[in-house]
Amino acid sequence: MKVLKIVLILLIINHLGFAQSIDTQKLDSYFNTLEANQKFMGSVAILKDGKVIYNKQVGYSDMASKQKPNKETKYRIGSVSKVFTATLMFKAIEEGKISLNQTIEKYFPEIQNANTITIFHLLNHRSGIHSFTDSKEEFLSYHTQPKTETEMVNIITKGGSDFKPDEKAAYSNSNYVLLSYILEKLYNKPYNQILEDKITKPLNLNNTFFGSKINPEDNEAYAYRFDKKWKKTDESHPSISMGAGGVVSTPTDLVHFIEALFNNKILLPESIAKMKTIQDKFGMGLFKTKYYDKVSYGHNGEIDGFISVLRCFPDENIGFAIVSNGLDYPMNSIEVTIVNSLFDKHYDIPDFRIYEPKSKELNQYLGVYSSETFPVKLTVTRSGNQLHLQAPGNSVMNLQATAKGEFKHEPAGLTIIFDIEKNQMQISQGGKINVLNKE
């Protein structure tokens, strides 16, 4: 492996241990910076050992009225709803109402391969049923209008099958819409009532429910997309997404839910073990995500501009949730920042400054830089107004100017400051600073 790549990797693979107390002021600065630069609107919650240790809200829940969010502000959570639906299905299994091996022709005989598709296949995305949301043009033609079960089943049936059941796995929202209808048949109740009876009421999740038209008077957030400015999005009707994406919640409720789930307060341990079992990258209502040497389970969600993340680290008894109603920044970067804060790892406050240096100014920085304490020599070159950094045998990195003499390379987390008078370059990464001299 190339030398510089080794240096970069060594900075991020150290063993993680949970921070005894997270730096809430730094996290506040991080989210305040995203807010100030119109990169993120939404809410965050972190839970440890059953207690919320961090809560933060930024942006607006309703831009028209300039309404700011608070801890009780409710957001659509998209496919994070699938964790609730899978939990409800396992509850029904524990109650003897159905089994994982039950085929679905009893409920939906019109669906292709219904006689061989099982509850397990639906939960594990192994049914082969085409996801109705993948037919995007058609989906966008009706997504804001209410649909009955008959209408949705007809749409799903029309989509057909992408592969034979259990042949492989492919993510399909159709699976969890069908699971929602099966739950309604098993309990003879609407999905929202089942959700309340089995999860939200027993756990006192007072801000979690099956959605309807967004109501800002009930402290519900609208969603926005950024196109030179924040623009309000259309609302998909919850009757279309059902338990695949129709739940509304808060980050605080979400972390309490995931903590209760993994501490066997809702389901038996054997049910949780089945949900966590990964086959072809899919669990049943859960995905497995590794951060360094830590393992988490959860789900992501996206609907109409709402983007959400829910994660639980069972071994550490830690959970966190991020729900955004406006995002113009990689959610993965926010997610990793939360993890780094939890496990006492360095992270940077993003620098969104933009500076346009002249070619003559860039000439001052050109040359080869080295230090006895740094493993490689770094060469600085330019083409036009673009400054480049390169280590021997590695590809060229384009540097972005943030101020006079200051540059960054976001993919590697590098910050570089030139000191012309001293003929030096200061390079920072992962909280470590090295000073190199110009040869």
Q: What percent of the chain has pLDDT over 70?
A: 95
pLDDT tens digits for range 265-278: 999 999 999 999 99
237 and 91 in a single domain? The answer is: yes
Distance CA 58, CA 374 (A): 40
pLDDT tens digits for range 201-258: 999 999 999 999 999 999 999 999 999 999 999 999 999 999 999 999 999 999 999 9
313 and 390 in a single domain? The answer is: no
In this structure, the strands spanning 75-76 and 247-249 are antiparallel
Buried b (16+ CB within 10 A) or exposed e, 131-161: bbbeeeeebeeebeeebebeebbebbbebee
Bridge-partner residues for 327, per DSSP?
Answer: 40
Yes or no: say if 185 and 107 are a contact pair by the CB < 8 Å rule: yes
Distance CA 385, CA 407 (A): 13
SS3 183: helix
SS3 101: coil
Does pTM top 0.85 for this prediction? yes
Distance CA 187, CA 183 (A): 6
Distance CA 393, CA 395 (A): 7
Per-residue DSSP letter, 112 = T
315 and 380 in a single domain? The answer is: no
207 and 290 in a single domain? The answer is: yes
50 and 176 in a single domain? The answer is: yes
Q: Residue 351 pLDDT > 50, yes or no?
A: yes
Cβ contacts of 173 within 8 Å, gap of 6 or more:
79, 131, 132, 133, 241, 244, 245
300 and 420 in a single domain? The answer is: no
Confidence of residue 16 (pLDDT cuts 50, 70, 90): low
Q: Which of 410, 394, 311 is nearest to 4 (CA)?
A: 394
| Residue 11 maps to a domain | no
pLDDT tens digits for range 115-163: 999 999 999 999 999 999 999 999 999 999 999 999 999 999 999 999 9
Distance CA 380, CA 395 (A): 12
The type of residue at 364 is Q
Give the tokens for residue 70.
Answer: 């608070």
pLDDT of residue 292: 85
381 and 328 in a single domain? The answer is: no
Distance CA 93, CA 41 (A): 39
| Residue 214 maps to a domain | yes
Instruction: Classify residue 400 as exposed, middle or buried by CB count within 10 Å of its CB (0-12, 13-18, 19+).
Output: middle
Q: Which of 314, 347, 313, 316 is nearest to 332 (CA)?
A: 347
pLDDT of residue 155: 98
pLDDT of residue 201: 98
| Residue 111 maps to a domain | yes
307 and 423 in a single domain? The answer is: no
414 and 324 in a single domain? The answer is: no
Terminal-residue alpha carbon distance, the chain: 26
Cβ contacts of 23 within 8 Å, gap of 6 or more:
341
285 and 410 in a single domain? The answer is: no
Angle between helix axes 81-94 and 173-187 (nearest 10 degrees) is: 40
Confidence of residue 20 (pLDDT cuts 50, 70, 90): low
The domain that holds 111 is classified in CATH as 3.40.710.10
pLDDT of residue 7: 41
| Residue 10 maps to a domain | no
Confidence of residue 295 (pLDDT cuts 50, 70, 90): very high
Cβ contacts of 215 within 8 Å, gap of 6 or more:
none
Domain that holds residue 398: 359-438
pLDDT of residue 17: 66
Give the pLDDT mean for 10-30: 72
| Residue 260 maps to a domain | yes
Distance CA 254, CA 241 (A): 19
The residue written with tokens 């119109």 in the block is 38
Cβ contacts of 386 within 8 Å, gap of 6 or more:
398, 399
The type of residue at 355 is Y
204 and 100 in a single domain? The answer is: yes
How many domains, in total, are found in the chain? Answer: 2
The string of DSSP codes covering 366-417 is -EEEE-TTSSS-EEEEEETTEEEEE-TTS--EEEEEEETTEEEEGGGTEEEE
Confidence of residue 9 (pLDDT cuts 50, 70, 90): very low
Yes or no: say if 84 and 94 are a contact pair by the CB < 8 Å rule: no
Distance CA 77, CA 432 (A): 37
Give the tokens for residue 432.
Answer: 């470590």
Residue 154 has φ and ψ, to the nearest 5°, of -65, -40
Query: Given 291, 311, 342, which residue is the final one in a domain?
Result: 342
Q: To 5 degrees, how large is the angle CA 194–CA 156–CA 196?
A: 10
387 and 301 in a single domain? The answer is: no
| Residue 348 maps to a domain | no
| Residue 23 maps to a domain | yes
| Residue 12 maps to a domain | no
Q: Residue 13 pLDDT > 90, yes or no?
A: no
The domain that holds 371 is classified in CATH as 2.40.128.50
Query: Given 307, 342, 377, which residue is the final one in a domain?
Result: 342
